[in-house]
């Protein structure tokens, strides 16, 4: 389809995705209509079908493209880092930095897991696991090197991820604390929570 | 109104609240209709108006009654505890224990903050602050007693709350870990994150 292949097609797709993300963030997936979306973008409803066939496909596209970009950036950030504590520090900084400016994506990725078909849910859940497993693996590596105690690495990773992602719920870029101040505070909290040996 | 005053009225109201919570959890507030709710409960739509006047009033009732019960139980749990570290321990246990069996309430209370009128939002936000401030005050008290370092108590409290509440996203009562095992692990993570002096 020429509209999706050309640069104007790519631009329209980005506009559609942004508008859809906003509508789902504000009203939820079930309440969002393709008619309302077309109105918001300022195109005919029929034109949407150049970019996706169903509302479900749109949701999957939104969430999976976020997860793909996230995992790609995660790999890039952690590439070549061998020391587990250095990897933990890098992961913590990366996770906060990436999500803090994407609160709409974070909200929709979490709240609309309910709205996927079982097939799509499984794909998204696997993508989430892949991202989380990277942190779990770092913790296990730190445990093997006796740099942290022998707690349940998976449960610990979930705790850290929830703590860090929770920043999106209250952080205000124009607020009292800068992003760097937040990263400093949470870096300290997360490393302490994991009980990284003080000597390291 | 006799229907709401009598014991059968109270029972019906509880049935309505439970069904509404489930529908909002599954589809979102905007997508929920009072017609669908009445169908689910098995009453006439008109009968719903014996219990609330608008969908907004229903949402407010759901969330505010949860917050009231939560704050009441929090006060009860912390009553008479003077030692700040003992209070931290009690708060952490209470918070996990209360929320772990209420994942629908937790989800709706968070995801549908967007759906309140400004007036109702303010009341709910104040109730949330009241609950959070209890933890912030305990941390400040622990700082004054030099039992924890001088970090930002508010930011630290947000981190702990996000970490603990996040358990609702993955905990399965029939899963690998018991509630007590989860509480033990998160107790250790939270106290470590707050850097409670080891000697205490």
pLDDT of residue B36 exceeding 90, the answer is: yes
Tokens coding A20: 């859809």
Per residue in A40-50, is it b (16+ CB within 10 Å) or e — as a string? bbebeeeebeb
How many contacts does A have with B, using Cβ atoms within 8 A?
A: 107
Residue found under tokens 């912030």: B136
Note the ipTM here: 0.92
Q: Which residue of A has its CA nearest to B187?
A: A193
Q: Is A200 part of any domain?
A: no
Q: Nearest-CA distance from B163 to chain A in Å?
A: 4
- DSSP letter (8 states) at residue B66: H
Q: Is the pLDDT of residue B101 over 90?
A: yes
Q: Which of B110, B155, B188 sits opposite A185 (nearest CB)?
A: B155
8 A C-beta contact, residue A64 and residue A131: no
Tokens encoding B175: 């899963």
Q: A188 and A169, same structural domain?
A: yes
User: Are A28 and A114 found together in one domain?
Assistant: no
3-state secondary structure of A198: coil
pLDDT band at B2 (very low <50, low <70, confident <90, very high): very low
Report if residue A198 sits inside a domain.
no
The residue-averaged pLDDT of B127-141 equals: 98
B166:A158 CB<8 A: yes
pLDDT at residue B116 tops 80: yes
Which positions in chain B have a beta carbon within 8 angstroms of at least one beta carbon in chain A?
25-31, 107, 110-111, 114, 151-152, 155-156, 158-163, 165-167, 169-170, 177, 182, 185-186, 188-190, 192-195
Report how far residue A148's alpha carbon sits from residue A196's, in angstroms, rounded to the nearest whole number.
5
**Which residue bears the tokens 């967007």?**
B114
Show residues of chain B in contact with A163, CB under 8 Å: 159-160, 162-163, 166, 193
Contacts of residue A134, Cβ cutoff 8 Å, sequence gap at least 6:
A74, A78, A91
> Max Cα separation, chain A?
62
- B33 with B60, same domain: the answer is no
CATH of the domain at A35: 1.10.10.60
C-beta separation of B141 from B70 below 8 A: no
Together in a domain, A47 and A64: no
CA-based nearest distance A167→chain B, Å: 7
How big is chain A, counted in residues?
200
Domain check: are A70 and A152 in the same one? yes
At residue B4, does pLDDT exceed 80? Answer: no
Q: Looking at the structure, do residues B118 and B189 belong to the same domain, yes or no? A: yes
Measured from the Cβ of residue B34, the count of other Cβ atoms closer than 10 Å reads: 16
- Which chain A residue has its CA at the smallest distance from B153's CA? A185
Look at residue A167 and tell me if it is in a domain: yes
What does A48-82 look like in DSSP terms, one character per residue? GGGT-SSHHHHHHHHHHHHHHHHHHHHHHHHTT--
Residue B9 has a pLDDT of 83
Residue B134 scores a pLDDT above 50: yes
Cβ-defined contact of A28 to B31 (cutoff 8 Å) = yes
Q: To 10 degrees, the CA torsion angle through A17, A22, A24, A28? A: 180
Range of A31's domain? 1-51
CATH number at residue B137: 1.10.357.10
> Which residues of B fall within a CB distance of 8 Å from A36?
none
Determine the straight-line distance between the first and last CA of chain B, rounded to whole angstroms: 56
Please report which confidence band the pLDDT of residue B200 belongs to, taking 50, 70 and 90 as the band edges: low
A64 and A162 inside one domain: yes
Q: Are residues B103 and B10 part of one domain?
A: no
Which of A30, A51, A72 terminates a domain? The answer is A51
Given an 8 Å threshold on Cβ–Cβ distance, is B151 in contact with A28? Answer: no
What distance in Å separates the CA atoms of residue A170 and residue B91, rounded to the nearest whole number?
A: 21
* CB–CB contact A166 B161 (8 Å): yes
- The token duo for B34 is 């009072």
Of the residues B51, B71, B93, the one at which a domain ends: B51
B188 contacts in chain A (CB < 8 Å): 151, 195
Residue A73: inside a domain: yes
Do B162 and A166 count as a contact with CB atoms less than 8 A apart? yes
Do B69 and B83 share a domain, yes or no? yes
**A60 shares its domain with A85:** yes
Query: Using a CB-CB distance cutoff of 8 angstroms, which residues of chain A are in contact with residue B27?
Result: 28, 30-31
| Residue A60 φ/ψ, nearest 5 degrees | -60, -40
Indicate yes or no: CB of A161 within 8 angstroms of CB of B166.
yes
Task: Quote the pLDDT of residue B199.
Answer: 57
Give Cα separations from A83 to A142, B90, B150 (angstroms).
8, 36, 29
Min Cα–Cα distance to chain B from A137, Å = 18
Separation between Cα atoms, residue A137 and residue B109, nearest integer Å: 33
- List the single best residue of B159, B160, B170 to mutate versus A (max A Cβ within 10 A): B159
d(CA B9, nearest CA chain A) in Å: 31
Contact of A11 with A4, CB cutoff 8 Å:
no
Assigned domain for A174 exists:
yes
* Domain-embedded: residue B67: yes
Contact A163, A186 (CB under 8 A): yes
Within a domain: A199: no
B71 and B145 co-located in one domain: yes
Interface-testing mutation among A163, A175, A177, A187, with chain B (most B C-beta atoms within 10 A): A163
Interchain proximity B28–A25, CB inside 8 Å? no
How many residues in total does chain B contain? 200
Q: What residues in chain A have per-residue pLDDT under 70?
A: 1-6, 198-200
In a domain, B198, yes or no: no
Within this chain, do residues B75 and B122 fall inside the same structural domain, yes or no?
yes
* Total domain count, chain B: 2
């Amino acid at each position: 389809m020429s509209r999706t292949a050309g640069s104007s097609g790519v631009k329209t797709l980005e506009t559609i995705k942004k508008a859809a993300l906003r509508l789902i963030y504000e009203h939820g997936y079930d309440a969002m209509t393709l008619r309302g979306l077309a109105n918001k973008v300022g195109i005919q409803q029929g034109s949407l079908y150049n970019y996706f066939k169903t509302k479900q496909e749109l949701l999957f596209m939104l969430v999976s493209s976020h997860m793909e970009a996230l995992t790609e950036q995660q790999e890039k950030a952690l590439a070549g880092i061998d020391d587990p504590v250095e990897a933990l520090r890098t992961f913590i900084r990366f996770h906060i930095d990436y999500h803090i400016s994407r609160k709409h994506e974070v909200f929709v990725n979490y709240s609309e897991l309910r709205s996927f078909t079982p097939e799509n849910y499984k794909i998204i859940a696997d993508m989430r696991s892949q991202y989380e497993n990277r942190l779990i693996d770092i913790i296990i590596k730190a445990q093997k090197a006796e740099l942290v105690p022998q707690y349940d690495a998976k449960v610990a990773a979930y705790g850290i991820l929830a703590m860090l992602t929770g920043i999106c719920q209250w952080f205000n870029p124009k607020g009292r604390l800068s992003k760097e101040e937040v990263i400093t505070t949470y870096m300290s909290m997360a490393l302490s929570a994991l009980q990284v040996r003080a000597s390291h």
